[in-house]
A = this chain, B = another copy of it.
Amino acid sequence: MVVVVKNDIDKAQQEHLVEWLRSMNIDVHETVGEFETILGLIGDTSHVDIDLINSLDIVEKVTRISEPFKNANRKFHPDDTVVDIGGFKIGGGNFQYIAGPCSVESPEQICSIARETKEAGAMLLRGGAFKPRTSPYAFQGMRAEGLKLLEKANAETGMPIVTEIMDISHLELFENVDVIQVGARNMQNFELLKELGHTDKPILLKRGLSSTMEELLMSAEYIMAGGNEKVILCERGIRTFEKYTRNTMDVSAIALLKEKSHLPVIADPSHAAGLSRLVRPLALSAVAAGADGLMIEVHNDPAHALCDGPQALTPSQFAQVVKEAEVIRKVLHGNNED
C-alpha cells in the first residue's frame, strides 16, 4: 500500500499515522518530494482499512498495491483449483456444460429437458426453483416444490443439480442440491456468503450486475474465509449504457479472473445479452476467452415458447453450440501444447 501525505501539514499527525501503521507490524518507508511525501507500506496490509486512511485530512491519496483477496489469489495458490461435482470436474483444464430451463415448471418439463440436454452434451442440470424477479407480481418460482422436481430429474438422469438460493433460511432445503448458485443480485449479500462458507457444497458465484472483478473476488473470499474453497466464478454480463442488449458480457473478465485467481471461471451467455440469438456467438466468445464452462438456458418445446425466457435455446441449437465450442477448446488446448 502506498499512502501519499501532503507536505504542508502538522507533522505530528503524520507521525501518529506512521506509529499506528507500525503497531500493525507494517514497515513504513518515507520518500519526501517537493509537494508531497510518499509512504511505502511493506508487510501484510490486507487488514488495513483503506477508506479509513483515505479519510484523514493529511492524506492526499492511498493506493493498494497488493490485492485485498488472499484465499482466492493466484499469487499464493499458483495451481488451478479443480471443483469436483459428483465426478464431473471443472477447472484445471476440465470444462463442463450446465444447461436447463429458466424455471422449473412441472415434472414432465424438467425431466424431459434434462434428458434432452444430457443427450445434447450437458453434464449438469440447471433450473430455477427460487426466482429473483424485479416485480413482486411476476412468477416467483415453484420454490421448495421446484427443488423436489429437480431431485426427481437428477434421479432419472444422474445429472448433478445447480440451482439458486435466495435466503439463508432456505439452506436446509438445498441438502440434495449439488451446486448452490448465488445470483447476481445477492453477490454482496454478505450474511448469505458467510453461511455458505460453512457448507461443503460447491458454490457458483455470479458476478453482480455492476460489480468489479475485485468485488467478485472479495465475495469469493467471504465464502473461502469460512472454510469452503469450492467456489466457481461466473461472468454473466454487466450493466452499461448500451440499450440494444440487456447486459454487456465482459469477456476480458473471463481471462483476467483466471489470471488473478486460481478458481474456475464459467460464463452464462444466456443472461449476458438477454436475446436467444446472441447466445451462440457469446458462448463461443467465452470459450475462446478461456472459460472453464458454460451455463446455458434451454427449453424443449418451441410451440410453447411463450412460457420460456427470451434467452433460451432449443436442445438442437444447444447441441450445435456444444459441437462448435469443443472445436474452439481444442484450438486453445493445442496452443498450450506447442
The interface of chain A, by Cβ under 8 A from chain B, is 2, 4, 16-17, 20, 27, 29, 31-36, 38, 40, 42-43, 46-47, 49, 51-52, 54-57, 60-61, 63, 65-66, 68, 75, 132-140, 166-169, 185-186, 188-192, 194, 209-210, 212-215, 218, 221-222, 225, 238-245, 248-256, 259-260, 272-274, 276-278, 281-282, 284-290, 305-312, 320, 324, 327-328, 331-332, 335, 338
Contacts and interface: CB of A to CB of B under 8 A. Distances in A.
Nearest to A259: B277
Contact of A167 (B185, B192, B238): B192
Given A134-B215, A251-B251, A284-B288, 5 more contacts: A16-B306, A29-B29, A167-B189, A240-B250, A251-B285
26 contacts: A2-B4, A2-B38, A2-B40, A27-B33, A29-B38, A35-B66, A40-B40, A46-B137, A55-B305, A68-B135, A68-B137, A132-B190, A140-B190, A185-B190, A189-B189, A209-B210, A210-B241, A238-B240, A252-B272, A252-B281, A254-B281, A255-B278, A284-B289, A284-B331, A288-B288, A320-B338
Nearest to A44: B34
A212 B241 CA distance: 7
Contacts of A287: 288
List the number of copies, as a whole number. Answer: 4
Binding site secondary structure of chain A? mixed
Contact of A214 (B63, B194, B243, B282): B243
